[in-house]
Amino acid sequence: MPGRPVVALVTDAIHPYSFGGREIRYHELYAHLTAHADVHVFTMRWWPGPRVRTEGGVTFHAISPLLPMYRNGVRSTWQALVFAVACLRLLRHRFDVLNVDQIPFLHLLPLRLVAALRRKPLIATWHEVWGPEYWRYSMPTGWRPAWWIERLAMRAPDRIIAVSPETARRLRAELGERAPITIAPNGVDLDGVGQAVPYEQRTDLVVVSRLMRHKGLDLLLAAIARLREGGRAITCRIIGDGPERDALREEAERLGIAHAVDFRHDVSEQKDVYSLVKAGRVFAFPSTREGFGIAVLEAIACGVPVVTTSARDNLAQHLVRRSRRGIVCDHTLDAFATALAAALDTPAAGPPDGALAEPWVGEYALDSIASHVVKAMLP
């Protein structure tokens, strides 16, 4: 529409083809952005048919082929490189604001060039600082250049929108206290949470997670086996998909608990996620690295107590510490199994009718968070 700013959003993964916290964040932001601007999303070719399509007032552009985002359980260097080069295609497009999702870092460098040549602001949404320890783990022989690229990528944007105070703190540790960083956490659709009806098949433990190594789901399976060996007929539902799908199923078989673990890889609608979470007695979250932890916040909003660990890079623990029924334990098998047992032994205490289980969750109402993001993004 004439006179409206044009916002270019760059992200290699979009909902519903890929299901995760950052995909949901952008998906829920579209409706708020389209009220103020013309929105164009530049991504991989997730869909069949034409490279450009419009849906819900948003125009999607496939600027690169669809490539696997993970290799051997970690981010694919090849996919990151191809997507980064493809981002130079934005030189052919008109935009007033360029917003880029931080992951997987490398594309921020050509987009810095695009923004400079077009004389437009580059704004990055930053979910987490991976740091040298992550790169030593995922790229043992090349971690130093990878960490150097991440640090360089932090300096590429004109402004950064951090999804949590802890992520902002880690960014400022690298960029300095005067770095132009706005904090805008992920939001929760509280109306959707309130309308969700618990799934009819209940379970003791439930988790929503991308199936990746750092999510710690092997620890969860080991804890379930430990509790069942101790005489507890624990059941669990794992909601999500990812590169560790087959390995986790094989581990459940090896531990003799496959019959007690319900893997759900087919869930893509938020209303279904809320329904399945509400059907669990305890939300188990053994992740070792989270920039925010939207799944944890959603579980708390659903009235389900959360057990997580104090792993250094698990920033979701800060949300759990605010919850009156949350438990944060050491990231060990003994501690996690003990914490799960304690949470399951605590009598359920649901909220009054029509009230949030934890009133502070109202701070993360989707509408207000989205409005804050829009203000931070638009000129």
pLDDT of residue 198: 95
pLDDT of residue 245: 94
Helix (H, G, I), strand (E, B) or coil at 148: helix
pLDDT of residue 373: 86
Strand partners, 162: 126, 183
Q: What's the DSSP call for residue 18?
A: S
Query: 6-183, what's its fold?
Result: Rossmann fold (3.40.50)
C-alpha distances (whole Å) from 272 to each of 30, 196, 277, 305 are 20, 8, 9, 19
In the prediction, which pLDDT does 361 show?
Answer: 93
Q: What is the pLDDT at residue 12?
A: 96
Domain boundaries, the chain: 6-183, 190-362
pTM reported for the whole predicted model: 0.86
pLDDT given at position 356 = 65
Summarised one tens digit per residue, pLDDT across range 332-352 is 999 999 999 999 998 775 554
- Three-state secondary structure call for residue 237: strand
Lookup result for tokens 């050509």: 110
Cα 22–Cα 23–Cα 24 angle in degrees, nearest 5: 90
Q: Which residues of the chain have pLDDT under 50?
A: 352-354
The confidence score (pLDDT) of residue 248 equals: 97
pLDDT reported for residue 367: 84
Give the pLDDT score at 142.
81
Answer left, alpha or beta for residue 231, where phi above 0 means left and psi between -120 and 50 means alpha: left
Cα 306 from Cα 339, distance rounded (Å)? 10
Pairing of strands 306-309, 70-71: unpaired
Topology agreement, domain 6-183 and domain 190-362:
yes
- CATH number for the 190-362 domain, one of 3.40.50.2000, 3.40.50.360, 2.102.10.10, 3.40.50.970? 3.40.50.2000
